[in-house]
A and B are shown apart, each in its own frame.
Chain A
Amino acid sequence: KQEVTQIPAALSVPEGENLVLNCSFTDSAIYNLQWFRQDPGKGLTSLLLIQSSQREQTSGRLNASLDKSSGRSTLYIAASQPGDSATYLCAVFNTDKLIFGTGTRLQVFP
């Protein structure tokens, strides 16, 4: 059974730092991996999707990498801002559904 783990569970950093959020999964037979952002009490917003054949995807200050063989993905946030404060979730697409990690709660303070 696929399990998705995110470390750390929470992170608090000063504005301007470059960050790395980690996601690991137990079954490497995935179709794709998605990173989402969730603001408190709100739904999820898709940030990046990496197909299983890809190594990374970039969108603005965000860069996500995928290493299927080791069962790992990282989300890199450059020059963090207070507006980046949110919970970040990764999810892997296995067969016909997404399996979510429990998220990393990020706080960026001025």
Chain B
Amino acid sequence: DVKVTQSSRYLVKRTGEKVFLECVQDMDHENMFWYRQDPGLGLRLIYFSYDVKMKEKGDIPEGYSVSREKKERFSLILESASTNQTSMYLCASRQTGVVLTNEKLFFGSGTQLSVL
């Protein structure tokens, strides 16, 4: 089975700190995604990456950046954490192939970030 691992289950940071959230997948997937999940708002896409060194903005990229130096690792960076970035962060990956339509998305277990 595909394994998507997020480095921290819970994280507490202070306003203004630089925060790194790490995600690693072990199935050589090309596509990787970062979502945040908030009550009443559902999952919202922050950034995604088609391949190494490639990145695309999602629906809410403000205040975030990403890094994909290696295929298996996709990092989400909060340059200067703010209280409104307190949320559950979910990483996901997906293989791509000739038949794009039948590829499932696999999620990590999430990182609950609290910014004080």
Q: Which residues of A contact B (CB under 8 A)?
A: 31-32, 34, 36, 41-46, 49, 51-52, 89, 91, 93, 96-98, 100-103
Contact = CB atoms under 8 A, between A and B. Distances in A.
B110 A41 contact: yes
Give the secondary structure class of B's interface. strand
Nearest to A32: B101
Interface of B: 4, 6, 33, 35, 40-43, 45, 48, 56, 58, 88, 90, 92, 100-102, 104-110, 112
B101 A93 contact: yes
Nearest to B92: A44
A41 B45 contact: no
B101 to A, nearest CB: 5
A1 to B, nearest CB: 10
A34 B107 contact: no
Given A97-B48, A102-B42, A43 B102 contact: no
B87 to A, nearest CB: 13
Contact of B107 (A31, A41, A44, A93): A44
Contact of B105 (A34, A42, A96, A101): A34
